[in-house]
Amino acid sequence: MGSRARFAPILSTSFLLLLLRSAQPLGLRQQTPLAGAELVGIAGRYLTREERWMNQRLDHFSPTDHRQFKQRYFEFLDYHDAAATGPVFLRICGESSCDGIPNDYLAVLAKKFGAAVVTPEHRYYGKSSPFESLTTENLRFLSSKQALFDLAVFRQYYQETLNSRHNRSSGFENPWFVFGVSYAGALSAWFRLKFPHLTCGSLASSGVVLAVYNFTDFDKQVGQSAGPECKAALQETTRLVDEQLQSDSDSVKALFGAQTLKNDGDFLFLLADAAATTFQYGNPDAVCSPLTNAKKNGKDLVGTYAQFVRDYYIKKLGTTVSSYDQEYLKETTPDDSSSRLWWFQVCSEVAYFQVAPKNDSVRSAKINTRYNLDLCKNVYGEGVYPDVFMTNLYYGGTSIAGLSP
Ligand SMILES: *[C@@H]1O[C@H](CO)[C@@H](O)[C@H](O)[C@H]1NC(C)=O
Ligand SMILES: *[C@@H]1O[C@H](CO)[C@@H](O)[C@H](O)[C@H]1NC(C)=O
Ligand SMILES: *[C@@H]1O[C@H](CO)[C@@H](O)[C@H](O)[C@H]1NC(C)=O
């Protein structure tokens, strides 16, 4: 999109429908099972998974630090014309490991337009980490601003690669178009904003361009998506869990298979996120059917919700309880780094604290601003908190003012 006028409708229709969660990064891992992709073989799901590498600068904003790291990327050229003069689609990978170029709507567009598709992995995620140990000190180069600069450098690097492969002079320019969804959608809009000379345009799908501190609308949307009957059942469940946490917290946590979560806030956030994610990815029946049935038949609501969390959210969607555990988030060499990395971006730049609204919340009122700020401090240390004012000052929030081509 080029102009503000065209940007606004995209935001208003999709901003609340598909939002960032904060504990588990969004990624294909969660989306594929819901899309029914388990029916397709792994080969059909990706255009390519063949890794390529480039040297990327660690700190784009330092005049004296010239260190580099290896950034992973993927390229798919089957639809590009033989002379390689057609468009290049830059598909932005967001806050998770980027394991290939998925075979989705973008493949259809690429075929139609004879486009090459390239996708670099976001710095720090997956195999593109500059550091083995993800200490807070080492995380200081993890930001959307650095990531955008990476995209610009990648874009130039890849353009030159294409030129030399085809024996073209170095000034040759393919038309570039940028795509992204959710946080990567925000990056897509911001890339167009900050580097208009490097793209013809960009598509920001569900782009979360506004950094929000107390993001109470998230829970309100969950209540709305649930509808009155399911919302009431969810709220009653929340009340009962809050009570049981007071009387016997070990038993209620064990019921959910989450006894490892020592912090009650972590536990309550897992429970809230389970429902939110289920609505966000368009599968309300998975939580609402069992819960409203249990309510009608006078069955145990907490037990019913626990079964949904265990069987659906954890087993079927592959969510890990540890990704909600602040003790795990503190680990500097975790098996799966994406939660620690995304929380750092939340805690240092964009917030989106998914706190309970004052009135009529679905989630526990204990998931409040304090819980989030305490998490930031506990996991990353004193002084790590998000300055959303600065983030929105830098990018423009919903008043982002992109240039027309
Ligand atoms: C580029 O030039 C080299 C050396 O002259 C040649 O071997 C190669 O086939 C050329 N490639 C293309 C795509 O024209
Ligand atoms: C966020 O909520 C907290 C607690 O209700 C309040 O103290 C704070 O002022 C709010 N901050 C913003 C920026 O709205
Ligand atoms: C709180 O929520 C209830 C239920 O949605 C509503 O009827 C009531 O007006 C709200 N109260 C305030 C103060 O907003």
Q: Is 359 in the pocket of ligand 3 (CB under 6 A)?
A: yes
Name the DSSP class of 179. E
For residue 393, what are its two tokens?
Answer: 């000052």
Q: How far is the CA of 369 from the centre of ligand 2 (A)?
A: 7
Q: Is 49 in the pocket of ligand 1 (CB under 6 A)?
A: no
Q: Is 214 in the pocket of ligand 2 (CB under 6 A)?
A: yes
Mean pLDDT of all residues belonging to the chain: 90
For residue 166, give the ligand 1 atom closest to its CA: 13
Sorted by sequence, the CB contacts under 8 Å of residue 133 that are 6+ apart come out as 332, 333
- The closest of 97, 42, 108, 41 to 74, measured between CA atoms, is 97
Mutate which of 166, 167, 168, 172 for ligand 1 pocket (most atoms within 8 A of beta carbon): 167
Q: Which residue has the higher pLDDT, 319 or 36?
A: 319
For residue 165, give the ligand 1 atom closest to its CA: 13
pLDDT at 27 over 80: no
User: What percent of the chain clears pLDDT 90, i.e. is strictly above it?
Assistant: 87
Q: Is 216 in the pocket of ligand 2 (CB under 6 A)?
A: no
CA-closest residue to ligand 2 atom 5: 369
Across 43-71, average pLDDT:
95
Q: Is 167 in the pocket of ligand 1 (CB under 6 A)?
A: yes
For residue 355, give the ligand 2 atom closest to its CA: 2
Cα gap 137→119, rounded to integer Å = 28
CA-closest residue to ligand 1 atom 13: 166
pLDDT at 13 over 50: no
pLDDT at 157 over 70: yes
Cβ neighbours around 318 below 10 Å, total: 12
Q: Is 166 in the pocket of ligand 1 (CB under 6 A)?
A: yes
Output the CA–CA distances (angstroms, integers) from residue 133 to 109, 129, 155, in the order listed: 39, 9, 28
pLDDT at 33 over 80: no
Mutate which of 216, 219, 360 for ligand 3 pocket (most atoms within 8 A of beta carbon): 360
Q: How far is the CA of 377 from the centre of ligand 2 (A)?
A: 17
353: which strand partners? 214
Across 323-328, average pLDDT:
97
Q: Are 349 and 300 spatial neighbours (Cβ–Cβ below 8 Å)?
A: no
Cα gap 393→16, rounded to integer Å = 22
Cα gap 13→48, rounded to integer Å = 32
124: left (phi over 0), alpha (psi -120 to 50) or beta: left
Cα gap 342→214, rounded to integer Å = 17
For tokens 């610009």, the residue is 152
pLDDT at 191: 97
Mutate which of 222, 359, 361 for ligand 3 pocket (most atoms within 8 A of beta carbon): 359
Kindly report, residue by residue over 270-304, the tens digit of the pLDDT: 999 999 999 999 999 999 999 999 999 999 999 99
Name the DSSP class of 362. S
- Containing H/E element for 185? helix 183-194
Kindly report, residue by residue over 266-279, the tens digit of the pLDDT: 999 999 999 999 99
First to last CA, the chain: 9
pLDDT at 402: 67
Q: How far is the CA of 224 from the centre of ligand 3 (A)?
A: 14
pLDDT at 89 over 70: yes
Which of the ligands is closest to the CA of residue 360? 3
Q: Are 123 and 93 spatial neighbours (Cβ–Cβ below 8 Å)?
A: no
Kindly report, residue by residue over 364-385, the tens digit of the pLDDT: 999 999 999 999 999 999 999 9
pLDDT at 403: 56
Name the DSSP class of 383. T
Q: Is 300 in the pocket of ligand 3 (CB under 6 A)?
A: no
Cα gap 193→171, rounded to integer Å = 23
Q: Are strands 212-214 and 101-102 parallel, antiparallel or unpaired?
A: unpaired
Sorted by sequence, the CB contacts under 8 Å of residue 257 that are 6+ apart come out as 306, 309, 310, 314, 321
For residue 183, what are its two tokens?
Answer: 């946080």
Q: Which residue has the higher pLDDT, 117 or 25?
A: 117
Cα gap 398→71, rounded to integer Å = 31
pLDDT at 28 over 50: no
pLDDT at 404: 57
Q: Can you give the length of the chain in residues?
A: 405
The full DSSP string for 71-140 is: EEEEEE-TTS-TT--S-EEEEPP-SS---SEE-SHHHHHHHHHT-EEEEEPPTTSTT--S-SS--TTGGG
Kindly report, residue by residue over 246-266, the tens digit of the pLDDT: 999 999 999 999 999 999 999
Cα gap 174→159, rounded to integer Å = 7
Kindly report, residue by residue over 231-245, the tens digit of the pLDDT: 999 999 999 999 999
Name the DSSP class of 399. G
53: which strand partners? 72
CA-closest residue to ligand 1 atom 12: 166
pLDDT at 401: 87
Q: How far is the CA of 172 from the centre of ligand 1 (A)?
A: 16
Question: Which domains are present in the chain?
Answer: 2-209+392-399 (3.40.50.1820), 213-385 (no CATH)
